[in-house]
Chains A and B, each alone.
Chain A
Amino acid sequence: MEEYLLKVDKVQTVFKTGKGEITSVEEVSFQLKPGQTIGIVGESGCGKSVTSLSIMRLLGKHGYVKNGSILFNGKDLAKISEAEMREIRGNEISMIFQEPMTSLNPVFTIGNQMMEGIRLHMKLGKKEARNYAIEMLNSVGIPRSEAIMNEFPHALSGGMRQRVMIAMALSCRPRLLIADEPTTALDVTIQAQILELMKKLRSQSNTAIILITHDLGVVAEMVDKIIVMYAGQVVEEADVFTLFDNPKHPYTKGLIGSIPHIETHQEDRLISIPGAVPSLQNMPTGCRFHTRCEFATERCLQEQPNLIQLDETGEHKVRCWLAEEEAYVSRENKEVFV
């Protein structure tokens, strides 16, 4: 079996508050091979961003990974020292964020901010770092890159700033890039530009990507594998084609059904999932989705389902009692045992 670059295993991230600890995500597991792109989807409040920030260990003063392991290149990121983690951040793992308007420091020039990471991790001199930064800006399609180096962020459009963020993130040739809603704040024609750029850069390097988004259209365009998160847990994992063609979890089905399509004619109503994502403070017992699930049974109210494998390859996993029972029945019939 191919070596995994990242192995996230049963991670639980908690935040300390005045009233004790609140669990934000738990039971998050997935693996990523070098060069692979994985998408994390789900609605806001499902723990997508917390998952990525747990990998980067940028959870702030109050958050930490309480249980589970995050193996990156053989090192457990949940356990290594802060100094070791700093060596990895921006170097082997880098990140781009949702808001290009606020993610760059308004009082320093683009050049200053670009060169910071380059000088820190690549140990280049000032002049070399500057030339390298200009080269990076060119590679992400920024015109007049030398002049842009001396500009402040406010002089650039949202799309241009996101290109700068990408150039900054890729400058140390990371093995893993985490993109947290990289195009959500952008207009659709600019989004298309950025996605094309990311595809182009991906094909030139062997960087693995974790793409976090709520837009199923974006994942359909970009990723190899998808994990669907709901209320802080992974509820389904599959390769992108399987997930869209044959979703198993009712939440995944609802998400896919609720997107208005433009490529097909559609007269019928959109499928909508009633209610809203439960808050961290009062998570439902049993299956967390049961409050919004039309198929919920007595068992779903009581017992929490596990993330189980649906096929022999172990690529398609789901956390749902119904899917589990269905899979069990079909295996019985085919006399295939786990």
Chain B
Amino acid sequence: MSLPTEIKIEKPSKERTGTPLLEINNLKQYYPIKKGIFSKTVGHVKAVDGLSLQIYPGETLGLVGESGCGKSTTGRAIVQLEKPSEGEIIFDGKNISNFTNREMRSIRTELQIIFQDPYSSLNPRKRIGDLLSEPLLFHKLATPSEAKKKVEDMLEIVGLPKSYRNRYPHEFSGGQRQRIGIARALILNPKLIVCDEPVSALDVSIQAQVLNLLKDLQNEFNLTYLFIGHGLGAVKYISDRIAVMYLGNIVEIAKTEEMFKNPKHPYTLALLNAYPVPNPHLRGRQRIVLEGDVPSPANPPKGCKFHTRCPIAQSKCREEVPVLTGVHHSVACHFPIN
């Protein structure tokens, strides 16, 4: 079970150049709250509330935040699992947010998603070989015999023996299932893969296997990732740039190193501080512990949404909504940390 790790390709320089592969402008995803005799809509859960970002070819953009911040909703909107309430999603120069299902079908092969729990996304009654060849046959990208060959190749690429194509999903461990999830996304030769918390359910040693695999595959096939996660360590390890989300908006976005060395948003700093460091010599270090819970996205605070938990909030924060500003290191805060 060897990984194709030996291929040492010089990492392409991941400077933000050229046109983005994916561009999101002012994405909103609202879910109505209904009440009363005639189910009148009385409000909205604002899962994503005016989010914009760009992903450039060949890079990995990490998207972090706590549960309920809208990171998974964003991922699902990108692959059009849910129609966004508002905003545009431009993929490879085409605005796919108003694509019909038929038009979407032609894009599907280029835009894939990997889920947190691969088990519930794999039909338990189908063999792995069938599960993997299904998309190829559906999109008429291969004849059945070609598909079989391709499935075997793909299993090897993700580090599973060819013979596993005759097995059923329940015969695999969590890490192996995630490899299958990756193989299924990869088999269509996509340009962008949305990785929705792909390692959150895995044990550390298995998590490391999968993260390494994702990195190797990116180099080999020149993939672009949107990596959604809540484990800062994993996101840092795999991402070139990181965007931090809080209550439906991006509060800070920067290159990974820059973000960790020089966080500007107090929420980012608190997140970094809260992460338990696996080094006992660093215990007792100074750190900010945020108080309270994340407010409900049905009723977010006015002004800066973070002001209710922000240790340095001032009166301006309670009234004015901060805008994401800055070219290489953007932050949405009235009083960013230097």
Contact = CB atoms under 8 A, between A and B. Distances in A.
Contacts of B176: 276
Nearest to B64: A188
A254 B205 CA distance: 7
Contacts, number: 130
Contacts of B203: 43-44, 214, 277
Contacts of B273: 192
Interface stretch (B12-20, B128-136, B278-286): B278-286
Interface string A258-292: 11111101100111111111000000000000000
Contacts of A241: 280-281
Contacts of B270: 189
A43 B173 CA distance: 13
A255 B205 contact: yes
B233 A262 contact: yes
Given A187-B67, A270-B212, A258 B207 contact: yes
B130 to A, nearest CB: 24
A215 B276 CA distance: 9
Contacts of B281: 241, 244
B278 A244 contact: yes
A153 interface: no
Interface string B1-41: 10001000000000000000000000000000000000000
B184 interface: no
B208 A271 contact: yes
A195 B276 CA distance: 10
Interface string B35-55: 000000000000000000000
B230 interface: yes
B208 A160 contact: no
Given A190-B293, A193-B290, A260-B237, A272 B274 contact: no
Interface string B202-226: 0111111101100100000000000
Interface in B265-298: 270-283, 287, 289-291, 293-294
A216 interface: yes
Given A187-B230, A258-B207, A274-B1, 17 more contacts: A188-B230, A191-B274, A192-B289, A193-B289, A193-B290, A195-B276, A216-B204, A258-B208, A259-B204, A260-B208, A260-B233, A260-B236, A262-B236, A263-B277, A276-B175, A276-B176, A276-B206
